[in-house]
Structure 1
Amino acid sequence: MPWRPRQKSRQRVRRSLRRGDGSLARRSRSRYEGPQRRIRQRQFFGGPGLNPVSNPLRVGAVSFVNTVPLIDGLDEHPQVLLQRDLPARLADLLAEDRIDVGLIPVVEYLRGVGGDLVPGICIAAHGAVRTVKVFSQDPLDQVVEIAVDRGSRSSVALLRVLLGEMYGNEPDMHICEPRPDALFAHYETVLVIGDRADEIDPTGLHVYDLGEMWHELTGLPFVFATWVLSERMSVADVRRGELIGILSAARDSGFGRLEELAQVEALRRRMDAGSIQQYWRENIHYTLGEAELAGLKRFAELATKYDLVGESRAVRVAQM
């Protein structure tokens, strides 16, 4: 006998459809704890129209503010199962073929995780990035230890390259989770990524923006993350073109309503909406073009030089 939702669930669906307020999704999150329970609920109902999806396209993305314009509407897309996690964890899920595409740290792609890059989309900086910074009580060429944020492997690898190329310095690095209220509790130099990097008071500190340092060193953009297809999706999956089209449409939708998204994120994260918009428009570049690919290939060369990726792979972009 096929699975049927309980009567109470059907009533909830009808009420949600009448109001059009998305109450089903919110109530589902409050009733089920943990990402796997939320995923199962999405598989049953499948999004707007509540048509069951037996084989959804599995998309993995981070929950940082810089990702918001790229995933607009994916939560409600009838063919998509969206999972949010840390960048490093998404790389693991992609390597295990538990997602079809992941927005992963570029260093993990260079280490062999996943298949082809999704064309035209990335998270890059053409200078100061604002959300990847080193805060130090000493000049960077003098430090002997650095606490590095556990959330992004690309930023840690980039820091290794910058320290070696610009200062000839190879300090010890210790993984931690920096807290703005206790930044220097154990170490005098800390790498901070994500929204937290914008919350720290820089007064009296040496502050280094890694995007700015990379541009100073190479004159090229730095690509922090890209959509990477699973190996299976890259090679033979007939839905590859559909998935790439969905991701491109989500990006276009996000860019069409940045002001509205900034207001939502400002309330949710207790940030300034104008600052968020400025970050999206001026600090982050979301197009994977020739300059970004050149920066990615240059980083691959330097990461190989410092033995951060093993034998680096050739950069390959998927064809539609």
Structure 2
Amino acid sequence: MTYRAGWIHYTNVAPILDSLVLPDGVTAITGVPTQMNAALMSGEVDIANISAVEFIRNAHMLEALPDFSVAVLGPVYSVNLFHTRPLKELRRIALTAQSAMSVALLEVLLRERGLCPKLERAEGEAEDLLAAGYDGVLRIGDSALREWYQVVGPLGDTQTMTTLPSTGRGITVTDLACEWFDLTGHPFTFAVWAYRKDNPPPPELVQAMREARRDGLGHLAQVAQRHAGALGLPPRVVQHYLWNFRYHLEAPDRLGLRQFASKAVPGHAPLCFGKRPG
């Protein structure tokens, strides 16, 4: 029987998926986070790198690989709130329909600040939506990374990513992962590789994923070079972006994930993780 994978192939998982060779009997499709969340829940796919909040909401039926994640400690650069007013003065925020995770994180952060702006679904680039009347726009993924750089860049020869400003062109960019770190001091886990508890992935697929991750992290400059052109960004920006991620779901990542779960989905079922490799 064929085992079906659903990949959210943003640049942030390129070190895992770029060189992945699927073993015999495994097929894959790709899509945005909300599409792959739905595909896993409907049974269209058997495993997916889904939004962590969907894993939490469906913890009664899902299990996650114990050593794969998309997490950061501090800035993520690609889950951004673009805004033209201070956070406490925001009235209307445009939300992308592509990501349940970023919306849930934004809702937690706003609630922790005691803020309740109107949240509306609207698609488009941040600057276009701001010009259309929104004073805040939530953007995710490769588009958010590119639009962040359009606002705060360019990166000078003597600068590093960490010295770039958070404002430009009359816009402030608030990195939601940074906000989470300021609130909790923990990493933020955006995605896990989840599957139904009664249908775990074949060991050959998990091993192939580990080998691909090892190859990708060992050749990060080449991975960044491959993706920089499509993103329209300097390779060193993309390389910094990639080496910033935590791909192994270590103890601090799980701690942050559980803290987010308690804030975003009170009363959720226990989070289950498969057995770590020996």
Q: 1 CA distance for matches of 2:32 and 2:196? A: 17
- Out of 102, 105, 113, which is 2:48 matched to? 102
Q: CA deviation at 1:77?
A: 4.7
Residue identity over aligned pairs, in percent, reads 31
**Aligned residues of 2:71 and 2:253 also touching (Cα < 8 A):** yes
Structure 1 unaligned segments of length 5 or more: list them. Answer: 1-54, 306-310
SS in 2 for 1:116: strand
Structure 2 residue aligned with 1:286: 247
- List alignment gaps of at least 5 residues for structure 2: 152-166
Residues 35-70 of structure 1: per-residue CA shift (max 9 Å, x gap): xxxxxxxxxxxxxxxxxxxx4331111121101112
Aligned residues of 2:50 and 2:194 also touching (Cα < 8 A)? yes
Calculate the aligned-residue CA RMSD, in Å: 1.8
1:256 aligns with 2:218: yes
The answer as to whether partners of 1:180 and 1:196 remain within 8 angstroms in 2 is no
Residues 92-130 of structure 1 deviation map (CA, whole Å, 9 limit, x = unaligned): 110111212100001111110652111111001100110
Cα distance change of structure 1 residues 79 and 254 upon mapping to structure 2, 3 Å threshold: farther
Read off the aligned partner of 1:172 and give its amino acid letter.
K
Residue aligning to 1:139: 86
CA distance in 2, matches of 1:262, 1:161: 32
Residue 198 of structure 1 deviates from its aligned partner by 2.7
TM-score by length of 2: 0.85
Pairwise CA distance, 1:269: 3.0
Q: Secondary structure at the match of 1:88?
A: helix
Q: Which has the larger radius of gyration?
A: 1
Corresponding residue to 1:195 among 134, 142, 148: 142
1:86 aligns with 2:48: no
* Partner of residue 104 from structure 2, selected from 141, 146, 157: 157
Kept in 1, the 8 Å contact 2:21–2:208? The answer is: no
Match of 2:205 in 1: 243
After superposition, the C-alpha distances for 1:2-58 in whole angstroms (9 at most, x for unaligned) are xxxxxxxxxxxxxxxxxxxxxxxxxxxxxxxxxxxxxxxxxxxxxxxxxxxxx4331
What SS class does the counterpart of residue 80 from structure 2 fall into? strand
Greater CA drift, 184-193 or 290-299: 184-193
How far residue 82 of structure 1 moved from its aligned partner, in angstroms, is 1.9
Q: 1:142 to 1:187 in 2, by over 3 A?
A: same
Task: Give the 3-state SS of the residue equivalent to 1:232 in structure 2.
Answer: coil
Rounded to whole Å, the distance in 1 between the matches of 2:241 and 2:42 is 33
Could you say which structure has the higher strand fraction?
Answer: 2
Q: Does 1:226 align with 2:172?
A: no
